[in-house]
A and B are shown apart, each in its own frame.
Chain A
Amino acid sequence: MHSAVYKVGLHYLSWDISGGNARCIAMLQAFQEVVKDYSTPPENTLNRDMTAQISSYVSFLIECRPLSISMGNAIRFVKNRIAKLPITLSESEAKASLHSDIERFINEKIIGADTVIVEHAVTKIRDGDVLLTYGSSTVIEMILVHAHELGKKFRVFVVDSRPKLQGKLLLRRLIKRGINCTYTHITAISYIMHQVTKVFLGASSVFSNGTVYSRVGTACVAMVANAFRVPVLVCCEAYKFHEKVQLDYSICSNELGDPNAISKVHGREDINYLNGLTNNAKLKFLNLMYDATPSDYISMIITDYGMVPPTSVPVIVREYQKEHLLQSSKIVI
């Protein structure tokens, strides 16, 4: 077990690193360390052995916390690059090539993509806007900060929900920048929605039929916004898109969190009304991580390929894959 991978896994386990992009970058950087320290066993080929190693590391990471779709796509990318390494390359050349491929993926598909998304999204923010965002999303924060730097005058509703209360972290960062904020819980959303002019949401993934897969509660926010005729803008990098189609809120592909987090209040150990019931066979605590928002409730998806309607996700997926094939053919040349 490589120490870099082990370290990242522990961060996942303790939720020190959370969020699709952050987890993905941490994993890829760990893989870069693996590549740097790698040496091929005498009786094996680099392609086959490295792929097997990566697979075992992925299994370990899954044990720490199930993969996000962005991580799955990134892993597929890495394995694809390994498989396509020419046999004629020396070990050091192969390692350098792989390292730079991963570096480019991080810079172009994640960091660069966010930059493009921010540039598109700020064009939709104008003076006097009241924006609503839910939970904490890195790209949404970047958008709000950039719009503020451009001198736009707007207010932000930060909507939060238990048990993670991640909106607090976003709130703190926005206030530090001098942005005018209001903080509330998701239970109050129908009351405040009439003031809102736009809703910005992050996403863990977008499926082929335009369904947005994101932190639990997102669908609720989008539906309330739709009922009030407020546009819902989803910001998601193209590398997080998935060919899968999801038609309902199936639990079978959701991630379960710590059930005890539901019954307790963080920082208030004295409040534990359900303490005596945790062993009751007739009571189950359900702590879901994700939900799915149908495309009907989404006005626009902002991605590094531009601003598109939810119906165009399959084309983005196809162009994204085509781009990778082109890169492959270039490398072959």
Chain B
Amino acid sequence: MIFLEKATVYYLQFFHFEEFSQEKKKSMWRRSPSFILDERRSSNSPPMADTTRGPFQNPDSISAYYQTRAAHHGVITSDWLAQAQAAVGGVSGDAQHDLSVTDLGNEKSFNVIEEFNNWRKQPDLAEAVAAIRALAAVIRASEASTMMELEIELKKASDTLKSWDKTSISLTAGCDLFIRYVTRTSALEYEDFNSAKSRLLERAEKFGEISCKARRIIAMLSQDFIFDGCTILVHGLSRVVLEILKTAAQNNKLFRVLCTEGRPDGTGVLLSSELSKLDIPVKLLLDSAVAYSMDEVDMVFVGADGVVESGGIINMMGTYQIALVAHSMNKPVYVAAESYKFARLYPLDQKDMAPALRPIEFGVKIPTKVEVERSARDYTPPQYLTLLFTDLGVLSPSVVSDELIQLYL
């Protein structure tokens, strides 16, 4: 009798689907709990299969930015090694292509990508700074005799850098910032070419110092928000956030840190290791334990890969989730970010950004039919953020756009 009832239900479902057109089937799919049956039917239908697979991202493309981060953090998995080797092949191809383009443009064998990669290898150097150092090298290698020619060369090199890794926001922001500085300077002051050129170089060199200084400024500004006995939740391994916590410890403040595990990179494990060296009490959480632990949290600290025009941030995957939980439980979310990470982007939702993909290892073999979400970062809208700690001061998210407008107009 029970078997008969189940069979009847199954049959009715099957019959039910026959009644609907393809269009309705799609809309039904979103709401119907019978997605398994629907998927089975769609797999039998070639046009549907083509439609569903078309918009998927190429699963083999890996964001170079996250490869570098993984290398810096010393996280090596077998999967990562295999894909890194494949990616190295791809990167070499790109490098060759860019080299030939640069040759045609400059008639010289200088390669801005190589220069950038060399700078990028330094763990403490921000990507934006590496980009600006690479552009400074372009200036040094340039044989232009007028500011106009130099600007054109820089613009070309900047575009080359940005297209090399479209997913890196700080790379784009760094390039835009430097080009903006160049165009503004040359427009406002009429010096002779050589002194202008050396001034640009000087500016580029100082930018690296600005980066380190920015971290210290942010660390100092943040101290007012850390009180004795507080518990801080941290997500992701941000150099700035680490600097903040280090400074607080040096100021003899007593506080506790909860770190998310940060799979698949294991950034939380690394951060907790660093913090324990500083004798800061630290607890490691599973990524899924955030809501469970949020009641003991007094504030959340996150870094940012990019700060966008809406005042929201783009950061390591999971940031948005944590911000939502914190917001619903009335815990402040503080973002620590250098101002050169401000970018003229305005995402409307999670899918409104170029996807930055990374390899994920689950420890067991994943069947090929199983789709894996490999995006490495998410977008947190400004309404879930409390304050931004930047080298320009402590800002509310709505001020980001104001700063960007004044900078770029």
A binds B: yes
| CB of B342, distance to nearest CB on chain A (Å) | 13
B positions within 8 Å CB-CB of A:
55, 309-311, 344, 346, 348-349, 352, 382, 398, 401-402, 404-406, 408-409
The yes or no answer to A113 lying at the interface (CB within 8 A) is no
Q: How far is the CA of A124 from the CA of B309 in the complex (A)?
A: 14
**Chief secondary structure at chain A's binding surface:** mixed
Q: How far is the CA of A309 from the CA of B409 in the complex (A)?
A: 16
Q: Which of A127, A299, A312 contacts B398 (CB 8 A)?
A: A312
Considering only residues 232-252 of chain A, those with a C-beta below 8 Å from chain B are 233
Could you give 27 example pairs across A and B, Cβ below 8 Å?
A: A124-B348, A124-B352, A231-B349, A299-B348, A300-B348, A305-B409, A306-B309, A306-B344, A306-B405, A307-B309, A307-B346, A308-B309, A308-B405, A309-B310, A309-B311, A309-B382, A309-B398, A311-B311, A311-B398, A311-B401, A311-B402, A312-B398, A312-B401, A312-B405, A316-B405, A319-B406, A319-B409
Contact at B405–A305, with CB atoms within 8 Å? yes
Q: Which residues of A contact B309 (CB under 8 A)?
A: 306-309
A300-B346, A319-B406 are known; give 6 further A-B pairs, CB within 8 A. Answer: A306-B344, A309-B310, A309-B398, A311-B402, A315-B405, A316-B405
Q: Which residues of B contact A307 (CB under 8 A)?
A: 309, 344, 346
Q: Which residues of B contact A99 (CB under 8 A)?
A: none
Considering only residues 276-306 of chain A, those with a C-beta below 8 Å from chain B are 299-300, 305-306
| CB of B4, distance to nearest CB on chain A (Å) | 38
The yes or no answer to A95 lying at the interface (CB within 8 A) is no
| CB of A231, distance to nearest CB on chain B (Å) | 5
The yes or no answer to A23 lying at the interface (CB within 8 A) is no
Q: Which residues of B contact A305 (CB under 8 A)?
A: 405, 409
The yes or no answer to A198 lying at the interface (CB within 8 A) is yes
**Chief secondary structure at chain B's binding surface:** loop
Tell me the count of chain A residues lying within 8 A, CB to CB, of chain B.
Answer: 17
| CB of A88, distance to nearest CB on chain B (Å) | 27
| CB of A300, distance to nearest CB on chain B (Å) | 6
| CB of A227, distance to nearest CB on chain B (Å) | 16
Q: How far is the CA of A255 from the CA of B211 in the complex (A)?
A: 54
Contact at B310–A300, with CB atoms within 8 Å? yes
Q: How far is the CA of A306 from the CA of B309 in the complex (A)?
A: 10
Q: How far is the CA of A305 from the CA of B311 in the complex (A)?
A: 17
Q: How far is the CA of A312 from the CA of B401 in the complex (A)?
A: 6
Most B C-beta atoms less than 10 A away, residue of A233, A307, A309? A309
| CB of B262, distance to nearest CB on chain A (Å) | 29
Contact at A315–B401, with CB atoms within 8 Å? yes
Closest A residue to B404 using CB positions? A306
Q: Which residues of B contact A299 (CB under 8 A)?
A: 348
Contact at A308–B348, with CB atoms within 8 Å? no
Closest CB pairs A-B (n = 3): A311-B398, A312-B401, A307-B346
Contact at A198–B401, with CB atoms within 8 Å? no
Q: How far is the CA of A311 from the CA of B405 in the complex (A)?
A: 12
| CB of A208, distance to nearest CB on chain B (Å) | 13
Q: Which residues of A contact B311 (CB under 8 A)?
A: 309, 311
Q: How far is the CA of A315 from the CA of B398 in the complex (A)?
A: 11
| CB of A324, distance to nearest CB on chain B (Å) | 13
Q: How far is the CA of A309 from the CA of B309 in the complex (A)?
A: 7
| CB of A230, distance to nearest CB on chain B (Å) | 10
| CB of B177, distance to nearest CB on chain A (Å) | 16
